[in-house]
Amino acid sequence: MRALALRHLASDAQSRQARVAVTGKGVLVYGEALVDIVPGRAGHEHETVLGGSGFNTALALARCGAPVAYNVSLSQDGHGQLFVQRLTEEGIDQRFVGICEAPTPSATASLDADGAATYRFSLNGTAFDTAPPAPADLDEFAHLHVTSFGATLGTSGQAALALMRRARAAGLSVSYDLNIRPAVLPALEDVRHAIAERAALCDLLKCSTDDARTLHGTEFGYPLARWLAHGGQLLVTDGEKGGYLLPFRREPMVFPALAQEVVDTIGAGDSFMGAFLASLWRNGGLGPVMRNLPNELCAAALGFAVVVAAENCAQQGCNPPRRDPPSAHD
């Protein structure tokens, strides 16, 4: 079985390399990796699975065929070794992964009756406090994606901001997923300032309706409207209702969610984001062209992302499917 799995991994890697030759530069992901402690299946009080918004998004990108490198600090402990093993198995570039002595951070998930997750985090004194090694050269990438509190808080957040500035100066497109977690964030006014500083550097801002309400008490607010007026695009997800994309100076594009049995929602937004970016990569929508994407590329990316997110919700934890994005021109 292991030999068969290795053959599949080799085949996946060869297919990915062929697509790189056709499609061009890849995606660099910056964001936390942590272990999710989730309610167990029958007979188990809880189970531990690999997660974190950055890791989940990189995983979805890789499984959807995009070339992806991950920029993160991992622990040298047993959980950190499992992350390294999984990154290797998934063909994710680890040149910008740092290894430190601090333990792996964790998030304990609680699920409501609909499978929606809330989290309690353990971050202090963990690998989260160590900034990862910064890539010396960004020319090999078309796009930088930064995500969650790993891009907003403390040492890691400052490193993310510096990387975003470098990416913007180097001509990469940049996306930022807010992924607000009130339990680990400081005063809201400080959070709003940090987010505004980062949003000003990106082409695409992703948030959930819960994120927007936490920040502004409504789905929108003056800072978001002002940012949109300066050329940004806003991607909003709303759980089982679907969501919408607000392109610059164009009509919103609404996308419905798929009817799907939900085991839990862990990693659903990350799977959506990874699939959305993978579709844009497949169709040449990353890089300087990202701020003026044609509607057919946006529609293809939204449709693909909805399918991937729905399939992820049918699994325990973050486990996006292996799917190739369709061509927007077929």
Say which CATH number the domain at 209 has.
3.40.1190.20
Nearest to 131 by CA among 107, 150, 106, 145: 150
Q: 117 in a domain, yes or no?
A: no
pLDDT at 45: 67
| pLDDT mean by block of 10 residues, the chain; 330 residues | 40 44 78 85 71 96 98 98 98 98 90 70 92 95 93 89 97 93 78 87 90 74 56 83 81 84 83 97 94 90 93 85 86
SS3 168: helix
Q: Is residue 308 part of a domain?
A: yes
Strand partners, 29: 70, 145
Q: What pLDDT is stored for residue 214 in this prediction?
A: 83
Say if 174 falls within a structural domain: yes
Distance between CA atoms of residues 45 and 47, nearest Å? 7
| pLDDT of res. 9 | 41
Asked whether residue 243 is assigned to any structural domain, the reply reads: yes
Number of domains in the chain: 1
pLDDT at 132: 95
Is this prediction's pTM over 0.75? yes
Give tens-digit pLDDT for 241-268. 888 888 877 788 988 888 778 877 788 8
- Residues sharing a CB contact under 8 Å with residue 259, sequence separation 6 or more, in sequence order: none
